[in-house]
Chains A and B, each alone.
Chain A
Amino acid sequence: MNKTALLGVACFLALWYCVSGLGLVNPVLFPMPHVVAIKMAELVYTGRAISDVVGTVYRTAIGFAAAAIIGIGLGLVTGYLKSVYGALNFLIDFFRSIPATALFPMFMLFVGIGDLAKVSVVIFSCGLINMVHAAYGVRNARQSRILAARSMRATKWQTFGKVIFPEAMPHVFAGLRTTLSLSLVLVVVMEMFIGTQAGLGQRIYEAHLMFRIPEMYATIGIAGILGYLMNKGFVLCERKLVHWAGK
């Protein structure tokens, strides 16, 4: 973290102290930062937060990975086959526009209220996003590079595997970045909505119901840190794996 970023954090904490300490907001509903920090440390130290994080990460990872494999696979194929793309374009756009949360009840009907329900919603919503990005990437592969490969007598399979596929990768990664955040959001919301044994969403909601306010903020903080680290990690991978994007 550089100096300016540290300054930003310091200002944020100062503002928080002011609002909470001066009683601008009811301090019971809005505890001071150090109270939240101590609670956070306690949750981590006793291991309660750890099992929540593991549960949430586990569901997010499974949903994200399955959505990636299925969505990108289907997207590459639909993008490559022009007529399929034409036929599915509207449908994909429509289904993608349904708010994912509106689908919870439907998925609960089919797969119950276990982890499968949560993961299914992630796969459906994020899979469609991945599909759109992959198909777009294939359709927008540079003709000049495809032509270059053809001029070297590349077969259709070689052209697809060695040119069109890497051409689509920057778009695919843009989709993955979106779905990584969305996976976490959906999992946390569903943990609140459907409930679970261990999960950050469930912990936040329960703390709220039981009026354990510092615990609620502490868990929100942990969820924030988790999301931040996931994004940072992803961006690092992306820079390594699609180093040529935008160049």
Chain B
Amino acid sequence: MEQAIVIQEVCKSYFDSSRDRPQETVALADVSFTVRPGELVTIFGPNGCGKTTLLNIVGGLDQPDRGVVRVPTGNGGVSRVGFVFQNYTESLFPWRSVLANIGFPLELADVDRKDRDRRVRDMCDALGIKVDLAAYPYQLSGGQRQLVAIARALVSRPEIVLMDEPFSSLDYQNKIMIEQRLLDLWQESGVTILLVSHDIDEAIYLADRVVLLSRRPGRVLEVLETRLERPRRLEQMVESPRFLELKARALSVFRGEIGV
């Protein structure tokens, strides 16, 4: 089967000039893994391990120093990769209404207005977004805003969605609700998702496979196949033996990594 995303021996360093003595920091060292079409893969690792850098490279926002990343190339101007950023407040456009925010990728691709608005409404229905589409992002709650950001990433029907800690700035209740909606939508649409998380429960609960990254410089420590039944419910999941086994495995991998 053709892979949706191929990441091969990706290396990335950057020059940290913020310190007293500028030095080169290696963010990623020989990272390789693949994502199959329709798969939901999460990347879990400690802070500063290059998770965001990796996602930016996959999304074409950054270039690797060495190595290869292959993702489907754009077709007809509409992006086939959707991106959800960690900070929804700083990635949504406050001068645009919810409607115009979600429709933004379609507008860039010159989709005409009527078609655009219809697709935005369909996407909002699919995600269960019940906000006034004429409202502005600053009039919404954090959870609603992140839903809008997710809708914006999905509206152009991309084949791949990259998500950088999309739930980390939400309160617990919103997080659970939005995770559930994302899983439902993912199962219906068959989209491929690569999601970065720093919460191991979340990483296991959502994923088909969990990529464990080491501390900086980021390397792949292990790839866990979750093999948990779907559809999943968090409350059942956290008690299942398989979930606990996976979590224990992940923790022992990291314990070995930090040497305690």
Contacts and interface: CB of A to CB of B under 8 A. Distances in A.
Interface of A: 142, 144-145, 147-155, 158, 162-163, 166, 169, 242-244, 247
Contacts, number: 56
A162 B93 CA distance: 9
Nearest to A142: B90
A36 to B, nearest CB: 45
Given A152-B108, A155-B108, 4 more contacts: A144-B87, A150-B61, A153-B79, A244-B136
B74 interface: yes
B254 interface: no
A147 B55 CA distance: 13
B34 interface: no
A143 to B, nearest CB: 9
A164 to B, nearest CB: 11
Q: Interface on chain B toward A: helix, strand, loop, or mixed SS? A: loop
Interface of B: 59-61, 74, 77, 79, 81, 83, 85, 87, 90-95, 104-105, 107-109, 136, 138, 156
B105 A145 contact: no
21 contacts: A145-B91, A145-B93, A147-B91, A148-B83, A148-B91, A148-B92, A149-B104, A150-B61, A151-B59, A151-B79, A151-B81, A152-B156, A153-B74, A153-B79, A153-B105, A153-B108, A154-B108, A158-B108, A162-B93, A162-B107, A243-B95
**Which of A152, A154, A162, A242 has most B Cβ within 10 Å?**
A152
Nearest to A247: B138
A145 B61 contact: no
Contact of A247 (B90, B91, B94): B94
Given A158-B108, A169-B95, A151 B138 contact: no
Contacts of B109: 153
Contact of B94 (A148, A162, A244): A244
A185 B157 CA distance: 56
B54 to A, nearest CB: 14
**Which of B85, B95, B105 has most A Cβ within 10 Å?**
B95
**Which of B60, B87, B90, B109 has most A Cβ within 10 Å?**
B90
A147 B59 CA distance: 11
A158 B108 CA distance: 7
Contacts of A142: 90
B12 to A, nearest CB: 16
A41 B92 CA distance: 53
A142 B87 CA distance: 12
